Structures are given as C-alpha cells and as structure tokens.
Amino acid sequence: MRAAAAIVLFSALSAASAGAEEAGDPRRGELLFRNHCGICHAIDLPHTIFGPHLVDVFGREAGSVPNYRYSYDMGVSGIVWDEESLDVLIADPQELVPGTNMYFRGVPDAAERAHIIAYLKQQALSD
C-alpha cells in the first residue's frame, strides 16, 4: 500500500470510528440501503449491478469480487471490510480510497451509516 493511501485510510478510520461504534437498526438500514446503495449494489445475490455485490462483504478484501473491474487504487488498498472501514467508505468513498470508481457523495449522518452497516451485518448472518 502506498504511504499516502495508508495515511488517508488511518485518518479516515480514526475520524469515523465513533460513528461505526453506534448500534444500528437493521430495519431502518434496509430502507437506507435501498435508497443509497441498492441502486448499484446487490445484497441478496452475488451479481453485479453497477458496483460489486455485497454478499458476504464482512471480512472480504476490497477489490476481490471476481469479474468486477475495480479501480487500481481499490484493488491495491489492502482494506478488509469491517464495521469501521465500511463506515468510512459509506461516509466518503473518495476520502477512503482516492481514485476509486465509486462515484457516491456519501452518507454524512453517522446514525444512518450505522443503520446501513447493521443491515449489511444482518444479511451476512442470515446467509
């Protein structure tokens, strides 16, 4: 990982860690996911819409869904998706991985991000 990317990742994770620690409501998260994320990402089946699917996203290395064309920066980021890294990504994808192909303005509200992450987690546990 390049040093600059590592610094950005560390700074972003530190700044967002409080938001990631909030308990989220998966029911509210489902609606927020559909409004913010579901246009580009599938959660129930491993298929690509515009972005890579999010089936089993927890513990998966960024840039690792087969047959999806990631930006170079995402592919070499070394990020493993967990509550903290997803919180930073959902807040501002460009801050977490400058140069990412994910053109999304982000969800600034920490509580909304916590709900989305709770929904993603619930989906992972129900598989």
Q: Supply the DSSP string of 24-82, one letter for each residue.
A: --HHHHHHHHHHHTTTTB-SSSS-BSSS---TT-TTPBTT-STT----HHHHTS--B--
- pLDDT tens for each residue of 23-76: 899 999 999 999 999 999 999 999 999 999 999 999 999 999 999 999 999 999
Residue 89 CA from chain centroid, whole number: 5
Show the domain range for 47: 3-126
Q: What pLDDT, on the 0 to 100 scale, is given for residue 10?
A: 46
pLDDT digits (tens, 9 = 90+) for 69-107: 999 999 999 999 999 999 999 999 999 999 999 989 999
pLDDT band (50, 70, 90) for residue 112: very high
CATH number of the domain that residue 74 is part of: 1.10.760.10
Domain count, the chain: 1
20, pLDDT greater than 50 = no
In this predicted structure, the answer to whether residue 18 has a pLDDT above a threshold of 80 is: no
pLDDT (0 to 100) of residue 69: 94
Question: Whole-prediction pTM value?
Answer: 0.81
